[in-house]
Amino acid sequence: MSWLEGYSLKKTWHTYNSNPSYIEKQIENTLKQNDIRYAREVQLCDYPFRYDFAININDYIFLLEYHGDQHYNRNPDMQTEEQFEKQQMSDKEKVRLAEEHSIELIVIDKKNYDELEHILEDLCMHYCDY
């Protein structure tokens, strides 16, 4: 978490430990393989939701979210209508908050998950010193 402490919003970052999903573990492995500094389950300000990852590429901060099907389609076996609506509202608020703080939010879902390596490579090409 030390790299977050130096960030200008240092008083607004909180990180949590939770059990990552299979996809979150895969994303974490990809970040490690690419030597990208990151923190998991990051809460910005005192808002009641968390971003899956905050990543740091050469002191440029990005937020990274993975959206499974439950973010787009209600599964009656997994979510009530109220839970689905709450998920939708939370996703919109995360976008708004990231924009408000001028932090790029990258959303990965099953449609573009295979492109994660390329997305990270593109970020490194623009923000890394090599």
Distance CA 121, CA 127 (A): 10
For the chain, how many residues are written? 130
Both tokens of residue 39? 């923190």
pLDDT at residue 69, rounded to an integer: 65
Both tokens of residue 111? 């449609």
Average pLDDT over residues 23-27: 82
pLDDT at residue 21, rounded to an integer: 77
Residue 37: strand pairing partners: 56
Whether pLDDT at 17 is above 60: no
Q: By the 8 A CB rule, do 59 and 66 touch? A: no
Whether pLDDT at 73 is above 50: yes
Whether pLDDT at 7 is above 50: no
Whether pLDDT at 48 is above 60: yes
Distance CA 35, CA 31 (A): 6
**Nearest residue to 4 (alpha-carbon basis) of 37, 49, 51, 46:** 37
pLDDT at residue 129, rounded to an integer: 62
Average pLDDT over the chain, rounded to an integer: 77
pLDDT at residue 109, rounded to an integer: 81
pTM more than 0.95: no
